[in-house]
């Protein structure tokens, strides 16, 4: 994605409601190109709501969302995806009855990108699983497939919701390296509860509570687990 038009992500004064219940209060967040931005907070803080709103699944009542100068508010989720902004949801939902290969084929069809080399380079294990039904994958393998699908089409901005939740330490470590490498060519916004993992890769960390941004830590020296843990 071109950086010429502005930040990879600029969220200003976002207010989001679920019917009568307000979930986000004047949320502002910024990610410059190639940054890894972390968002942490307790359950119900509004992290998923924020990512889903940026991804076009929820419509804010007010506030602005822009990526590289393009206004995202009002775009449907597929319109946001077509701009190279990919959302990896928390639920690890894959097409269970389809094979790994077929899951990837669907994403290739959607993006027009049939080069799976980055997917199998980051996740070599998927090569051996190509003909397995996705419903039979372990949690870690599903997450590899979720991220693999998302990186087809070479997105400029990845929104990743709690990628390491419930995963074994080995795959958490692997994902940390993948995210670090992906940030060389994309901007990442990662919602995460695993502070040691996310603090190891984040340039900026936002803490949320009760639908608000309550703290911002900028710079690798400031983004440290012992400083941020009070927000979990």
Q: Tokens at residue 58, please?
A: 């929820």
47 near ligand ATP (CB under 6 A): yes
Residue nearer to ligand ATP on the CB measure, 18 or 109? 18
Rama region for 74: left / alpha / beta (φ>0; ψ in -120 to 50; rest): left
Instruction: Map residues 13-42 to x or -, x wherever contact with ligand ATP holds by CB under 6 A.
Output: -----x--x-x-----------------x-
Q: How far is CA 36 from CA 8, 56, 66, in A?
A: 11, 21, 17
Least CB distance from residue 24 to ligand ATP, whole Å?
A: 8
Residue nearer to ligand ATP on the CB measure, 5 or 44? 44
Residue nearer to ligand ATP on the CB measure, 41 or 84? 41
Helix, strand, coil fractions of the chain, as percent rounded to 5: 35, 30, 40
Cα 106 vs. chain centroid, distance in angstroms? 20
Residue nearer to ligand ATP on the CB measure, 46 or 56? 46
Residue nearer to ligand ATP on the CB measure, 35 or 49? 49
Q: Which residues of 133-150 are buried (b: 16+ CB within 10 A; e: fewer)?
A: bbeebeebbbbbbbbbbb
Radius of gyration of the chain, Cα coordinates, nearest whole angstrom:
17
Least CB distance from residue 197 to ligand ATP, whole Å?
A: 16
Least CB distance from residue 138 to ligand ATP, whole Å?
A: 22
Residue nearer to ligand ATP on the CB measure, 119 or 199? 199
Question: Distance between CA atoms of 7 and 30, rounded to whole angstroms?
Answer: 7
Least CB distance from residue 154 to ligand ATP, whole Å?
A: 27
Task: Kindly indicate which of the ranges 43-51, 96-104, 105-113, 151-159 contains the residues binding ligand ATP, using the contact rule CB under 6 A.
Answer: 43-51
How many residues bind ligand ATP (CB under 6 A)? The answer is: 11
Helix (H, G, I), strand (E, B) or coil at 228: helix
44 near ligand ATP (CB under 6 A): yes
Helix (H, G, I), strand (E, B) or coil at 226: helix
Q: Where are the beta strands (DSSP E) in 55-173?
A: 62-67, 70-71, 85-88, 157-161
92 near ligand ATP (CB under 6 A): no
Q: Would you tell me which residues interact with ligand ATP (CB under 6 A)?
A: 18, 21, 23, 41, 43-49
């Amino acid at each position: 994605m071109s950086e010429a038009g502005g930040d990879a992500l600029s969220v200003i004064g976002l207010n989001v409601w679920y019917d009568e219940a307000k979930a986000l209060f004047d949320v502002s967040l910024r990610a410059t190109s190639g940054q890894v931005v972390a968002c942490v907070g307790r359950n119900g803080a509004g992290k998923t709501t924020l990512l889903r709103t940026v991804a076009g699944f929820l419509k804010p009542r007010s506030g602005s969302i822009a990526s590289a100068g393009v206004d995202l508010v009002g775009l449907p989720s597929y319109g946001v995806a077509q701009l190279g902004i990919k959302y990896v949801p928390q639920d690890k939902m894959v097409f269970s009855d389809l094979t790994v290969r077929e899951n990837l084929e669907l994403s290739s069809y959607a993006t027009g990108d049939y080069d799976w080399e980055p997917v199998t380079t980051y996740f070599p294990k998927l090569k051996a699983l190509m003909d397995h039904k996705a419903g039979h994958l372990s949690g870690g393998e599903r997450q590899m497939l979720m991220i693999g699908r998302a990186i087809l089409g070479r997105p400029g901005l990845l929104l990743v919701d709690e990628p390491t939740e419930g995963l074994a330490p080995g795959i958490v470590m692997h994902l940390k390296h993948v995210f670090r490498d992906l940030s060389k060519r994309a901007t990442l916004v990662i919602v995460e509860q695993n502070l040691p993992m996310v603090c190891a890769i984040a340039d900026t960390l936002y803490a949320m509570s009760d639908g608000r941004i309550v703290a911002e830590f900028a710079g690798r020296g400031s983004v440290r687990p012992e400083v941020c843990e009070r927000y979990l």
